[in-house]
């Protein structure tokens, strides 16, 4: 095995055990060494071995039998190679426990998607082999406009919608069209850190705007950085704190943008997933002054490798954005766009979201229960695909220890620009498929950081 390219150590151990099971070296029903003993043999921490065992238990290769130990699953045929699961033609990537930004990969209706795509393949004409519209296919843009009208109360025309290959590409298009070096952008603090390099690359400066229980503090931002030309925020479910921007602040923000000739970039990254209460309307649905650019993506509602996102821009900006789009053209494959259009129009997308909301509520409950049982305090949130557990002490150090054990948690402090506040650990629950799996992963987390 090439250790340099093998990934985390617990994954190396898991692959080694899996290969031994496939070859028949580890037969069904065979007991594995205790994690402490195996860790000593390998020269690694016990948490690393537990992470490897836990991953194989979740995949069905191993099973726990209480105090008796961990065994190769009896359900596996002796010495029979097990074909790898496929994910659109390749080996399915197994997400790390608690990995942020991933939807539930097991819930996506792959067979249905394949049928919809197959129908498109069978019925396409020779013209489908040509380059498509630089702004995205008209069918998909119309489907998105219809979906936004019924689900988010956003009135827009298809020509206002631009298809991009992801959130970073959407932000790049916005800044290339509207920004000048030296412009100032309000950024939520704490806020999503991975978009900051994209913004900085265009010479735009950050103003860290504080977030409280009503969302971004608009009054403080106006007082301290009134000359800003952009405000980037996640008003439906603030990332990472989970609060919603109050209606009063939404109106205050729109008034500021109209008077200052500024632009509001509304990142509606996971608004579909709300489990309690009625969501507030998007800022875009209140956009009488035409100052809001609305950004969405299918990465968190369908699957990340789709690489499809969209922008809704104010009508006066359509010519400028179309001119910018012509320089690079839409890179989302035409077949994907047309399949996605059918998926939305035929109601599959809506039914998929409904199913995910139900399952996510259950998975979140499992994780909350497991965290509470280990003494963690979960910060209350009304929606989203991740949660925040408050911790004492240095959360960055604790998150680093967890990552060493193969757990993809993140520290709240690492999402801050200048603000200070209580520490916390951010983690996703979307790919937790059972109550037992939640308990196992949280036990690993508790051992790693405590």
Domain CATH number, residue 43: 1.10.10.10
Cα distance between residue 308 and residue 163, in whole Å: 7
HSE-CB for 433 with a 13 A CA cutoff: 13
Are 190 and 222 found together in one domain? yes
Say if 46 falls within a structural domain.
Answer: yes
Judge whether 292 and 232 are in contact, CB under 8 Å: no
Say if 270 falls within a structural domain.
Answer: yes
Name the average pLDDT for the chain: 88
Peptide bond into 240 cis (omega under 30): yes
DSSP-assigned letter for residue 408: -
Judge whether 35 and 56 are in contact, CB under 8 Å: no
Say if 289 falls within a structural domain.
Answer: yes
pLDDT score, position 91: 42
pLDDT score, position 76: 65
Are 300 and 367 found together in one domain? no
Percent of the chain whose pLDDT exceeds 90: 66
Task: Say how many domains are in the chain.
Answer: 3
**Which residue range(s) make up the domain with 343?**
124-349
CA-closest candidate to residue 135, choices 331, 347, 383, 355: 331
pTM beyond 0.85, yes or no: no
CA-closest candidate to residue 264, choices 203, 221, 320: 221
Mean pLDDT of 378-388: 86
pLDDT score, position 6: 56
Q: What is the 3-state secondary structure (H, E, C) of 62-92?
A: EEECHHHCEEECCCCCCCCCCCCCECCCCEC
Judge whether 75 and 61 are in contact, CB under 8 Å: no
Are 248 and 358 found together in one domain? no
Alpha-helical (H) ranges within 153-208 are: 167-178, 196-200
Mean pLDDT of 38-57: 84
pLDDT score, position 90: 38
Q: What pLDDT digit, counting tens, does each position of 8-33 carry?
A: 888 889 888 988 888 777 888 888 88
pLDDT score, position 421: 85
Are 201 and 294 found together in one domain? yes
282: tokens are 């998007």
pLDDT score, position 79: 37
Are 394 and 304 found together in one domain? no
Among candidate residues 316, 349, 382, the one where a domain is terminated: 349
Are 223 and 320 found together in one domain? yes
Cα distance between residue 357 and residue 425, in whole Å: 23
Per-residue pLDDT for 273 more than 80?
no
pLDDT score, position 47: 83
Q: What pLDDT digit, counting tens, does each position of 290-335 carry?
A: 999 999 999 989 999 999 999 999 999 999 999 999 998 899 999 9
Are 358 and 343 found together in one domain? no
Domain CATH number, residue 435: 3.90.1150.10
Mean pLDDT of 193-216: 94
Say if 241 falls within a structural domain.
Answer: yes
pLDDT score, position 278: 64
Say if 3 falls within a structural domain.
Answer: no
Q: Which residue has the higher pLDDT, 380 or 318?
A: 318
Burial class of 262 by CB neighbour count within 10 A (0 to 12, 13 to 18, 19+): buried
Say if 100 falls within a structural domain.
Answer: no
Mean pLDDT of 415-435: 92
Per-residue pLDDT for 3 more than 50?
no
40: tokens are 């000593």
Beta bridge partners of 71: 31, 63
Are 155 and 14 found together in one domain? no
Percent of the chain whose pLDDT exceeds 70: 93
Judge whether 317 and 118 are in contact, CB under 8 Å: no
Q: What pLDDT digit, counting tens, does each position of 61-118 carry?
A: 888 887 788 989 877 644 333 333 332 333 445 678 999 989 999 999 999 999 999 9
Among candidate residues 349, 366, 395, the one where a domain is terminated: 349
Cα distance between residue 258 and residue 154, in whole Å: 19
pLDDT score, position 22: 80
pLDDT score, position 437: 93
Q: What pLDDT digit, counting tens, does each position of 222-255 carry?
A: 999 999 999 999 998 898 998 999 999 999 999 9
CB-CB neighbours of 374 under 10 Å: 15
Per-residue pLDDT for 5 more than 50?
no
162: tokens are 């631009």
Judge whether 390 and 424 are in contact, CB under 8 Å: yes
336: tokens are 């994907």
Cα distance between residue 176 and residue 225, in whole Å: 22
DSSP string for residues in 203-223: TPEEEEEEEETTEE-HHHHHH
Among candidate residues 72, 93, 116, the one where a domain is terminated: 72
Beta bridge partners of 211: 216
Are 420 and 384 found together in one domain? yes
Are 305 and 354 found together in one domain? no
Say if 80 falls within a structural domain.
Answer: no
Are 343 and 224 found together in one domain? yes
Mean pLDDT of 193-209: 94
Range scoring the smallest mean pLDDT among 39-48, 76-85, 111-120, 429-438:
76-85
Q: What pLDDT digit, counting tens, does each position of 170-193 carry?
A: 999 999 999 999 999 999 999 999
Per-residue pLDDT for 4 more than 90?
no
CA-closest candidate to residue 357, choices 299, 270, 250: 270
Domain CATH number, residue 247: 3.40.640.10
């Amino acid at each position: 095995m090439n250790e340099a390219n093998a990934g985390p150590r617990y994954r190396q151990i898991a692959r080694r055990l899996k290969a031994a099971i496939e070859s028949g070296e580890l037969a069904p029903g065979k007991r594995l060494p205790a994690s402490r003993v195996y860790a000593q043999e390998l020269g690694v921490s016990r948490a690393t071995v537990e992470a490897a065992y836990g991953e194989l238990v979740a995949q069905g290769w191993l099973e726990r039998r209480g105090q008796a130990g961990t065994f190769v699953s009896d359900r596996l045929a002796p010495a029979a190679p097990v074909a790898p699961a496929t994910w659109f033609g390749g080996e399915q990537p197994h997400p790390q426990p608690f990995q942020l930004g991933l939807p539930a990969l097991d819930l996506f209706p792959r067979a249905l998607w394949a049928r919809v795509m197959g129908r498109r393949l069978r019925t396409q004409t020779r013209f489908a082999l040509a380059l498509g519209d630089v702004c995205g296919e008209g069918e998909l843009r119309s489907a998105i406009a219809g979906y936004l009208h019924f689900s988010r109360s956003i009135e827009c025309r298809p020509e206002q919608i631009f298809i991009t290959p992801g959130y970073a590409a959407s932000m790049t298009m916005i800044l290339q069209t509207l920004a000048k070096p030296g412009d100032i952008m309000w950024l939520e603090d704490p806020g999503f850190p991975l978009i900051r390099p994209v913004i900085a690359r265009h010479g735009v400066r950050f103003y860290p705007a504080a977030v409280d229980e009503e969302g971004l503090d608009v009054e403080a931002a106006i007082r301290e950085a009134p000359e800003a030309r952009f405000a980037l925020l996640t008003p439906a479910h603030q990332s990472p704190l989970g609060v919603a921007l109050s209606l009063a602040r939404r109106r205050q923000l729109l008034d500021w943008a109209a008077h200052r000739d500024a632009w509001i970039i509304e990142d509606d990254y996971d608004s579909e997933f709300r489990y309690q209460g009625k969501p507030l309307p998007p800022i875009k649905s209140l956009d009488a002054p035409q100052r809001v650019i609305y950004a969405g993506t299918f990465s968190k509602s369908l699957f990340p490798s789709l690489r499809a996102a969209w922008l809704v821009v104010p009508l006066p900006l359509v010519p400028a954005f179309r001119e910018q789009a012509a320089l690079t053209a839409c890179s989302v494959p035409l077949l994907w766009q047309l399949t996605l259009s059918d998926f939305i129009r035929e109601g599959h997308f809506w039914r998929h979201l409904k199913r995910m909301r139900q399952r996510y509520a259950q998975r979140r409950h499992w994780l909350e229960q497991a965290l509470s049982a280990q003494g963690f305090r979960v910060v209350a949130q009304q929606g989203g695909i991740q949660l925040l557990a408050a911790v004492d002490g240095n959360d960055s150090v604790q998150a680093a220890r967890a990552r060493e054990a193969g757990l993809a948690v993140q520290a709240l402090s690492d999402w801050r620009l200048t603000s200070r506040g209580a520490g916390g650990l951010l983690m996703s629950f979307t790919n937790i498929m059972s109550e037992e799996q939640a308990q196992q992963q949280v036990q690993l987390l508790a051992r790693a950081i405590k």
